[in-house]
Amino acid sequence: TLIYWLVCLLFSFIWIYQGLVPKLIMAHPEEISMLSAFTGGRFHPETLLKLIGLAEVMVGVLWLYPVRKRKWFLLHIALL
C-alpha cells in the first residue's frame, strides 16, 4: 500500500538525516558533550559519535529494503 511505503520512506529519511547531519557531516558540540558525559570519558566521544551516526544511517537504509516490517514498526514504536 502507498501509505506503508511512504511511512517507510519517512522513517528512512529521518534515520539517515539524523545520522548524517548532526553526527557525521557536522559533529554538533552538544552531541559530543552529552556523549562524553554519558560515557564518563572512557571512550573518545568524537569517534563514538561517528559510529553512532553510521549505525543510524544503516538503520535508515534498512527501512528501504522491500521486506515485511511489522516487527520493525513495533520495535520503532518501543524505541520512540
Dump pLDDT digits (tens) for 5-57: 999 999 999 999 999 998 999 988 888 899 889 888 788 999 999 999 999 99
User: In the structure grid, which three cell numbers stand for residue 72, read together?
Assistant: 520493525
* Residues ≥6 apart with Cβ < 8 Å to 35: 45, 48, 49, 52
Specify the pLDDT at position 13: 97
Specify the number of domains making up the chain: 1
Specify the pLDDT at position 80: 79
Specify the pLDDT at position 75: 87
Domain span at 49: 2-79
pTM for the predicted model, two decimal places: 0.85
| 51-80 residue pLDDT tens | 999 999 999 999 999 888 889 889 888 987
Q: Which bin fits 33, alpha (ψ -120 to 50), beta or left (φ > 0)?
A: alpha
